[in-house]
Amino acid sequence: MLASDQDFGTQKRVHKAYKYRIYPTKEQQQLIHQMFGCCRFVFNHFLGLWNNTYATTGKGLSYNTCATQLPALKGQFDWLKTVDSIALQSAVRHVADSAALFRH
């Protein structure tokens, strides 16, 4: 029997977990709160758009539709440019994911 043919399901697996605690400075706390506030604003903005579109057409908006509108929203609200763009894109993704749950 070759080693690749062995049943590896009988081997014990060890799962390790690490727990970390951070102690941000006051400035870092302010930046974290600012990022969460901007993400909440973006999520609520696109959720409102999604709900309005669904109410009028019976279909919601896709992730791509919302994501392509994000730069225009950042142009409209300059304070959105101060936070990480990936965090804002994740907020848009969360709207799309929650909408997918709604459809099912």
For the stretch 38-49, pLDDT in tens is: 999 999 999 999
Low-confidence ranges of the chain (pLDDT < 70): 1-10, 102-104
What's the pLDDT score for residue 7?
Answer: 55
What's the pLDDT score for residue 34?
Answer: 97
What's the pLDDT score for residue 99?
Answer: 77
What's the pLDDT score for residue 30?
Answer: 97
For residues 83 and 34, is the Cβ–Cβ distance under 8 A?
yes
**Other CB atoms closer than 10 Å to residue 6's CB: what's the count?**
10
Q: Report CA-CA distances (Å) from 17 to 9, 12, 13, 14, 65.
A: 22, 16, 13, 10, 38
